Each structure stands twice: as C-alpha cells, then as structure tokens.
Amino acid sequence: MSRYQKFVVALLAFLQFTVILDFMTLSPLGAVLMPALGITPSEFGLVVSVYAFSAGISGFLAAGFADRFDRKKFLLFFYCGFVLGTLLCGMATSYQVLLAARMVTGVFGGVIGSIVFAITTDLFPFEMRGRVMGFVQTAFAASQVLGIPAGLFFSNLWGWHAPFIMIVAVSSVVGVVIVIWLRPIDAHLHLKGSRIGPMGHLRATVTKGRYLQAFATTALLSTGGFMLMPFGSAYTVHNLGIGIEKLPLLYLVTGGFTIFTGPLVGRAADRFGKFRTFVFGTSVTILMVLIYTHLGRTPLPLLIAINAVLFVGIFSRMVPSQALLSAIPSPDTRGSFMSVSSSVQQISGGFASAIAGLVVVEGPGGVLLHFDKIGYIIVGTSLVTVVMMSRIHRLVPERAAPAVPAAPVSAPR
C-alpha cells in the first residue's frame, strides 16, 4: 500500500473503533446505570435495542441519497450526528432523555459503517480488500481490549456519564483529521446512476436480483453474533463459573488475540481465496460454537483458549464475506447497496437477539437454560450461509473487480 492508502485504512479503522465502542459501552454499564436512573431491566433492554432498530431504519432511508454526495461529506454529516448523539448520552439525567439520545446515536451511527465500506470499496481494488477489511474489523477487537475496560474504569471513577464524554473527545479529534487530511471521494458522482432521483435510486438497489441475494445472505450472517453476545457475560458467570471480576481479563486476552489475527485473516483471504477462507472460518465456528454452548464449569485458561479460537472462526467468516459482498454492487449504486446491507444487518440482528431471548430461560441462581439450542440454531444458519455464499462467489469470481478511479495515492499533504 502507498502511504496515503495506509493512512486511510488507519483512519477508517479508528473511526469504526469509536462507533463500535459507543455501541458496546452501554451493556457493561447496566449495573451502574439502572440504579442511577431508577430503570427496570426491560427498560434498559429497550435502551440497548433502540439503537439497532433506529440504525436499521436510518440505513434504509439514507440509501437513496448515499451515492448523490461526496462520500467524505456524507461521512462527516453522519459522524457529526453520531458525536452529538453520544454527547446527549453523556448529558442524560433521565430514562426518557437517554432513550432519545440512543435513538439519535443509532440514526447517525448506524449509517457510518456502510459509508466506511463504500469508501473501502471505492479506494481499494478487489484483490486488496481482504487485507483492508481485516484491518478495519480489528476495531471490534480493539473496543474489547481498550474500550470496555477503559469505560468501566472511568465510570467507576467519575460516574456512568464519563465513558460517553470520553468517546466524544476522541471522536472530535477523528472528525478534525477527516476534515483536514481525507481527500474528496466523488468519482462515483460522474457515473450515470448518480443522476437518478433518490426514490428511483433506492428502487434500483432493492429490486436487483443479485442485490436481494446479497441482502438475504447478510441477514443470515449476522444472526450468530447477535444471538451469543447479549448472553455472553451471564453465561460465562453463571454457567461456566467464572467470577465477574475476571471478565475484563477474558475480554482483554481474547480481544488482544483477535487484533493480531484479523489482519492475518485478511491476508489469507486475498492469497488463498475469499470463499475458501469463508468455508474454513465457518467450519471452525461451527465446531467451537458446539463446544462453547455445551460447556460446564470451565477453568479460565481453557475458556480463554476456546474464545480465542472461536473468534478466529468468526473473523474468518466476517472478513472474506464482506470482501466478496463488496464486489456485488456497481460503482454508481455502491453507497446505496452498503446502506441497505447495513440496515438489513442491524434489523436482522435485533430479531436474532429477540429470538435468542425467547429460547434462553433463566434457571435457579441465574443459570441459563437451553443455551445449547442457541448453538444448534447458529450451526444451522451457518450451513445455510455456506450455500448462499457459494452463489455469491459464482457472481464474483476470485479476480480483481473494477474499482472507482480514486485520487492519487501519494502521502497526505
């Protein structure tokens, strides 16, 4: 990569880190936040889920406009809204204000991921996207390693508002960097599709057969994580017998391992083939999910090892699938495609969490019952996604796909 390409990858990864951190910070703060605002567990659950649903609706509505603006300006608009929503969270003094603030944050933050992937697809050729996606996706692991422990530390020190104020401060710096050093990304505006009206542009995106196939695949791909993550802490403490004080260590080691494996998975996808890497990741994920959801009392070192291998499988599915799906849309509908795809991912994830909540039952002492059934559901959907991704792979052979002509890749001035 050139110096400017490396700068763009680092910027997008750090930007994703701030957005994911905002999303993931709320759940660990529940034990502090609920008594502070006097809210019930069901009300807290609504505060968490309203982000996903508002993000899904926003992504769909933004799709008609996603290819009508310079992607840099489009990114800045939604990033500013995200920072504002996070600031409102940090200033909230009641349940109603916090709920509204999370809705605002979801409306803006939920679209940012799709813009990031549209920029990635615009600026990097197909044969490099595995590496780029691998680096950008390390933001998820970094939020576990750096964000969650830091958020808990600052909340214990200055109250539950502090993590959100911290995110606002960091995000503001990222926004300034985008304004000064990120170049305009507007080559798609010179293509024919950019002159279609917003509704026509959205209609053209959601009615294409291969696009619908990609959206259906995205919906199934997101079910596994959204089924496991909401109950991960409770399952670890009550079923596996790991003390709650040891959870930060579990997150730290697992996330640190993932930070290093993410880029390696991206390189493997580019070198050995994205679909082959996806099949490998699915095989590892199925095996580790079956092991994880059937565990009894487990020593911490063994659980760390199981989680680390599980995340290798998850990343080996996530990175190559996104690289393959990025080659489906034509350049003039790329932003719209990514927005709808992000919307589908958020909404399907919300439904997956709701379904998991219906399957899992809390037993005596907080033990989660029927957690193994969640594993079987994930295995079933994973097998179906292999079939669906094979069809996507036939639409996108393992060769370089044309990218939108980008700005020269010299160092930022």
**Residue 71, CA distances (Å) to 120, 132, 366 in order:** 11, 18, 47
Amino acid at position 262, single letter: G
Alpha carbons 392 and 216: distance in angstroms, whole number: 11
Structure confidence at residue 412 (pLDDT): 40
Residue 270 lies in a domain: yes
Residue 401 has pLDDT above 60, yes or no: no
Amino acid at position 249, single letter: L
Alpha carbons 360 and 323: distance in angstroms, whole number: 33
Residue 408 lies in a domain: no
Residue 251 lies in a domain: yes
Phi and psi angles of residue 368, each rounded to the nearest 5 degrees, phi first: -90, 125
Q: Which residue has the higher pLDDT, 45 or 276?
A: 276
Dihedral (CA of 179, 319, 312, 314) sign: positive
Number of domains in the chain: 1
Q: Which residue has the higher pLDDT, 397 or 326?
A: 326
Residue 316 lies in a domain: yes
pLDDT of 238-260, one tens digit each?
889 888 778 778 877 887 787 88
Q: Which domain holds residue 176?
A: 3-395
Q: Which residue has the higher pLDDT, 99 or 404?
A: 99
pLDDT of 15-37, one tens digit each?
988 888 887 777 667 667 777 88
Question: Taking a C-beta distance cutoff of 8 angstroms, is the pair 64, 55 a contact?
Answer: no
Residue 404 lies in a domain: no
Local structure of 68: helix, strand or coil:
coil
Alpha carbons 63 and 208: distance in angstroms, whole number: 14
Alpha carbons 16 and 11: distance in angstroms, whole number: 9
End-to-end C-alpha distance for the chain, whole angstroms: 17
Alpha carbons 282 and 316: distance in angstroms, whole number: 7
Alpha carbons 146 and 139: distance in angstroms, whole number: 10
Alpha helices in 197-299 (DSSP H): 198-206, 209-221, 223-228, 232-234, 247-272, 274-292
Question: Taking a C-beta distance cutoff of 8 angstroms, is the pair 379, 286 a contact?
Answer: yes
Residue 114 has pLDDT above 70, yes or no: yes
Residue 413 lies in a domain: no
CATH code for position 334:
1.20.1250.20
Residue 267 has pLDDT above 70, yes or no: yes
Structure confidence at residue 409 (pLDDT): 42
pTM, full prediction: 0.77
- Work out the average pLDDT over 25-54: 75
Dihedral (CA of 346, 352, 353, 355) sign: positive
Residue 403 lies in a domain: no
Residue 148 has pLDDT above 70, yes or no: no
Residue 257 lies in a domain: yes
* Nearest CA-CA partner of 211 in 346, 307, 332: 332
